[in-house]
Structure 1
Amino acid sequence: MATDTVSAVSAGQRTPGLQQAKLFRIYNHYRVVISLMLVALLFVDPVNFDTRFRLLDYYQLGVVGYLALNCFVALVILAGFQPGQRHITLSILLDILIMHGLLFTSTGITNGLANLVIVSVAAGNILTPSRMGTFYAALAAICSLSISGWAALTLDGQGDDIVRAGSLGILYFAAAFVLQNISRRMMRSEALATSRAQSIAELEQINQQIIQRMRTGILVLDRHGQLRLANAAAEELLFGTPTDARPSASRSHTLPQPLKAGLEAWLKNPEKRTEPFQPAPTSPLLQVNFTQLDQKRGDQILVFIEDMSKVTQQAQQMKLASLGRLTAGIAHEIRNPLGAISHAAQLLEESPNLDKGDKQMLDIIRRHSRRVNGIVENVLSLSRRKPANADLVDVAAWLKEFKTDFLQTQEKTKPPTDIAVKITPGVPEARFDKSQIEQVLVNLCDNGLRYSQQHCGVRKIELRAGATADGERAYVDVRDFGPGVAKSASHSVFEPFYTTDQGGTGLGLYLARELCESNQAHLSLVEDDQPGCCFRITFAHPGRMI
């Protein structure tokens, strides 16, 4: 801060700033007024001028020329010219010399124009608080003494004029020293204020950028729950449509009912922690915390909104660490006996003495052996999963490519597989690990095709890519034409080992959601009036990922 202040002061001494230019314009207005008054005085009692003035013609010429000069400078400044330091210095020097020239051609140092020289010296020291200001005082003193000395030697002037000139010289130097000190202090104060204002503006800009770019949502509410301010993350998490940070834009939103209920509960009991909630079925799980913005007044409440995705990621890492230790035992303790059971069933199947009931029992053994093996494989794949390696992906092009690759694996299926892809214009890009999200899509597509075939006899699904309401996040829908999911089971479909298919393991959707969460995407069941079942993958904002 001290370095910035010194730099600002030095810069102000070298080149005039905006304040200096403004002061010079004011001073030039004063010069125009003074020159107009001097010209006006020429028309007042012109007869006595001939007897009292030494060189009346030169005096009149000097007054008119001084008016013309000041008017010209005023017009140039009015046209937008920014005076530099040399222009200010030249103007002050001209003022001192012209004023003494008028004193010389009029009645000498006793003329009232000598008081105007003090104003010029003072203005010079305000506009140039440096050694140049002392030079103005010295020049004015030398000119005043010269005029008085010349008058005393050539015109038999009184000695009092020399004393008056010396007194004026003392006034010039006194004004220079006093005003220089005052001007320097003012410039230091102005430089310090400018530096601090710039620092505050930069800090405010940094804070604004941090608050608007951070993933934590921030709301400012009054005690009645009225929204006063919200950052982009809060708009995105709560409403899905981030706006700018203006209060008028934020106040147009209505708080979700769970957040209102949490606020009312917190106002009654500040020690109570608000339960996590979802503003919408496709939104991530949110955790809110309340605090008083002003502890003394308490009329505004600050709300922090945390996306539970980060907590979920940490929990996933802990689960993966535990599963890594568990799967070693699973692979040995379950798969080996399971392999022995499957092998024994194959040997028993080769026996020629099996009746119909024995064959049914063998079929049950094989089917459930495959199911248990599938469960083990899914758990092993979960524990062996590598961290997501996210890339910036063009969702529309990637989805079309996925359809082509997936259909190549379905060429021998009967009835044939039908996949419709619909792309909404303006789908934004997203960051995710393509291999992991493709694994999720394969699982969803397999489920959708199976349930569509069971319900209506055709293997048909629909893939749709679009943008969320804010236009900044992409999503992908997988819709089948099966019987759909009952409302009573809509909250259980992502639980591990929950399945409605007798041959399923109940881990497919659970693993799909785990993979989405590791990519900061959200897998949800869309509840609408359309036939079948629709699962949506909502990707995170590509610029605000953890």
Structure 2
Amino acid sequence: MNDVTPENTDQAANTRQPAAPAQSHRLFRVYNVYRIVISLVLTGLLFVDPVQLDQPMRLPMQYQSGVLAYLALNVIIGLLLMQGLRPGQRHITFSVLVDILAIHFFLVTSSGITNGLANLIIISVAAGNILTPSRMGIFYAALAAICSLAVASWGVMALNDNVDNIVRAGSLGILYFGAALILQSVTRRMQRSEELADYRARSIVELEKINEQIIQRMRTGIVVTDQDGRIRLANGAAEELLFGLTGNEGHHSRVLPIALLEGLTAWKENPRKRPEPCQIQSASPMIQASFTRLDEENSDLILVFIEDLSKVTQQAQQMKLASLGRLTASIAHEVRNPLGAISHAAQLMQESGDIGEPDQRMLDIIQRHSRRVNGIIDNVLDLSRRRQANAELVDLPQWLEDFTQDYQQARGCQDGEPVSIELETVPTVPSARFDRSQIEQVLTNLCDNGLRYSQEQTGSPRLTLRVGATADGERAYIDIQDYGPGISEEYRTSIFEPFFTTDKSGTGLGLYLARELCETNQAHLALLKQDRPGCCFRITFAPSGRLI
């Protein structure tokens, strides 16, 4: 997606500045250090007898003043750079021009073009072409060549110097232009290489950010672990599947949960065998883990992919129920008409005075199953017509207290027994984001079931609603605890499947519809395992910051 090829390098370079400012700043600092060193050397040579150097001075006072002024200027620029001055193009141009003119001034006031200082001009021209690889660099070379010829010509005409000095000046001019052209070519190549390397580096960084975003937003959990199951890295989906709904006990220790550790051990013994689906805790969904080595050469790290099987199952069930819903909607009228006729006929027969007890039982069966078929049609139609969640941020303890009061007032008594609902809460509960009407429908269904089974078991319709927060403090939950006979182990994995029921009068769609409504609100409905009698259903809400 962001691959860099030679064909698109020029296009990438055109979208950027021609030179990297940071590199120019660094090179100019180095060049200024060189100028200070040269200035100090020239200043030190002032204290040496010119006769010992065999370099007689033409204008010694002007030469000394020029060297000291040159040193002062370079020191001032160095101090400004130390104070944070960010040199621009005008600073670079000014410095190179000053160097070319200053060194030629030293040549005029010292011994002319034959002085070794003339070689320093080549370095100044080279530096100018490195720092400014453009037409300005050629201008530096032309200016230096003209100045050198002028110094040599003045010496020949005014001071009777050897004419060969003009040839030397011309040779230096050729060197200036040669250095300018060669260094401009090399500098441009280096800049293109650096631009390409920088472009590729930025592309790699962008790809890393994109990959990180993709991995973090994937609904497949990805975990990197070592041979002992200690977690090195995990994306958001893995954190939620492994630790999000059950607290963060494993999150602190950063070790795979026991169920996955057993799967990891079995995989290491037989890598070809697919691990069995497992459940981290009773409130967690069923997950399928697959293992692979992160690097065949370095086998210390293992990559774990974690799939939420409940999502796959729900998608299959949704497709099945969508088809069933469309079928039911199309035939609801045809089914309900004869069903209503059957129910009405049974009701008329019950009102007849000469119906015996066996016939009365048969009529009760007809009425009961007519109501059940009608309930199935209503539930399937509700599934096919289900709207999207209209989520809002809710203060869960206050909302649950209002729901409890309204529910108790609406139910009043059940079979002559007053309904008793105990509400328990903790001091700190995070807010939850959900559709009030949909979650109220879920709670009403669970409370109806809990009260019915509690009364069958204890003779009293009572249950407990408990609101709290997961161990990480980010998710709120509601527990619905009844006091009924509970659910046997063989049925625990099937109670949320559509049309599964242990009640002869039930439709088998209540719990399935409840879980579907929870999933619509990014909540999770689960049956907790516990030692006490009865059932405890838990609704765990998503973090309040997550939008639905």
TM-score by length of 2: 0.86
Tell me, yes or no, if structure 1 residue 410 matches structure 2 residue 445.
no
2:256 maps to 1:255 = yes
Return the offset for 1:330: 8.3
Matches within 5 A, 1:33-72: 33-45=37-49, 52-72=56-76
Contact 2:245–2:540 (8 Å) recurs in 1: no
Instruction: Give 2:217's match in structure 1, choosing from 213, 218, 225.
Output: 213
In structure 2, the residue matched to 1:84 is: 88
Note closer, same or farther for the CA distance 1:211–1:129 as it changes in structure 2 (3 Å cut): same
What does residue 7 of structure 1 align with? 14
How do residues 390-429 of structure 1 correspond to structure 2 at under 5 angstroms? 390-397=389-396, 398-411=399-412, 414-420=417-423, 422=425, 425-429=428-432
2:379 maps to 381
> Which segments of 5 or more consecutive residues in structure 1 lack a partner in the other structure?
244-248
How far apart, CA to CA, are the structure 1 residues paired with 2:298 and 2:263?
21
Instruction: Report how far residue 279 of structure 1 moved.
Output: 1.4
Q: In 2 relative to 1, CA 540–287 (structure 1 residues): closer, same or farther, beyond 3 Å? A: farther
1: distance between equivalents of 2:465 and 2:26? Answer: 67
Find the aligned partners of 2:487 and 2:38 in 1 and give their Cα distance. 92
Give, in whole Å, the separation in 1 of the partners of 2:500 and 2:362: 20
Distance apart, 1:373 and its partner CA: 1.6
Which residue matches 2:440?
A: 438
CA distance in 1, matches of 2:419, 2:429: 31
8 Å CA contact 1:109, 1:161 repeated in 2? yes
- CA deviation vs aligned residue, 1:463-492 (integer Å, no higher than 9, x gap): 334443444444322223445445565445
Match in the other structure for 1:274: 275
Q: Contact 2:499 / 2:507 at 8 angstroms: preserved in 1? A: yes
Contact 1:218/1:233 (<8 A) preserved: yes
Q: Deviations over 1:246-269 (max 9, x none)?
A: xxx989422233333433444455
CA RMSD of aligned residues (A): 3.5
The within-5 A match list for 1:337-486 is 339=340, 342-353=343-354, 358-359=356-357, 362=360, 365-366=363-364, 369-385=367-383, 386-397=385-396, 398-411=399-412, 414-420=417-423, 422=425, 425-431=428-434, 433-455=435-457, 458-485=460-487
2:142 corresponds in structure 1 to 138
Displacement of 1:219 after TM fit? 1.9
Distance 2:115 2:304 in 1: 74
Counterpart mapping for 1:137-286 below 5 A: 137-222=141-226, 225-240=229-244, 252-286=253-287
Instruction: Quote the offset at 1:542 in angstroms.
Output: 7.0
Cα–Cα, structure 1 residues 343 and 49, in superposed 2: closer, same or farther, change >3 Å?
Answer: closer
CA deviations 1:290-335 (Å, max 9, x no partner) are: 3443456655443222222431232122221442366479868976
Q: Distance in 1 between matches of 2:240 and 2:49?
A: 82
Amino acid in structure 2 at the alignment position of 1:201: V
Cα-to-partner distance string for 1:473-516 (whole Å, 9 max, x where unaligned): 44322223445445565445445666566655554334423443
The aligned residue for residue 525 of structure 1 is 527
The letter for the 1-side match of 2:403 is F
**What CA deviation, in whole Å up to 9, does each residue of 1:269-291 have, x standing for no partner?**
54443332211111112122334
- CA distance in 2 between counterparts of 1:242 and 1:429 reads 17
Q: Secondary structure at the match of 1:121?
A: helix
SS of the residue corresponding to residue 90 of structure 1 reads helix
Residues 497, 315 of structure 1: CA spacing in aligned structure 2 closer, same or farther, 3 A cutoff?
closer
Residue 162 (structure 1) shift: 1.2
SS of match in other structure, 2:411: coil
- What TM-score results when the alignment is normalised by the length of structure 1? 0.86
Residues 269 and 48 of structure 1: CA distance in aligned 2, closer, same or farther (over 3 Å): closer
Q: Which amino acid aligns with 2:23?
A: Q
CA 1:364–1:405: 2 relative to 1, 3 Å: farther
Shift in Å, 1:393: 2.7
**Which is further off, 70-79 or 496-505?**
496-505
Aligned residues: 534
Which residue does the alignment assign to 2:290? 289
Amino acid at match of 1:178: I
Write out per-residue CA displacement over residues 393-412 of structure 1, whole angstroms, 9 at most, x where no aligned residue.
32435545533543442246
Letter in 2 for 1:477: D
User: For 1:346-372, what per-residue CA distance to the aligned partner results, in whole angstroms no more than 9, with x for missing partners?
Assistant: 444444456xxx448625742663255
Q: Return closer, same or farther for 1:82/1:316 CA change in 2, 3 Å cut-off.
A: same
* Residues 235, 242 of structure 1: 8 Å contact kept: no
- 1:216 and 1:304 in contact (8 A); partners too: yes
3-state DSSP of counterpart to 2:443? helix
Q: Given the alignment, which residue of 15, 18, 23 partners 2:22? A: 18
Q: Which moved more, 1:37-46 or 1:252-261?
A: 252-261
Cα distance in 2 for partners of 1:543, 1:314 equals: 26
Aligned equivalents of 2:352, 2:15: Cα separation in 1: 100
C-alpha spacing 1:545/1:94, structure 2 compared with 1 (3 Å): same
SS of corresponding position for 1:180: helix
- Equivalent residue number for residue 117 of structure 1: 121
2:261 corresponds to which letter in structure 1? K
Instruction: Name the SS of the counterpart of 2:465 in structure 1.
Output: strand
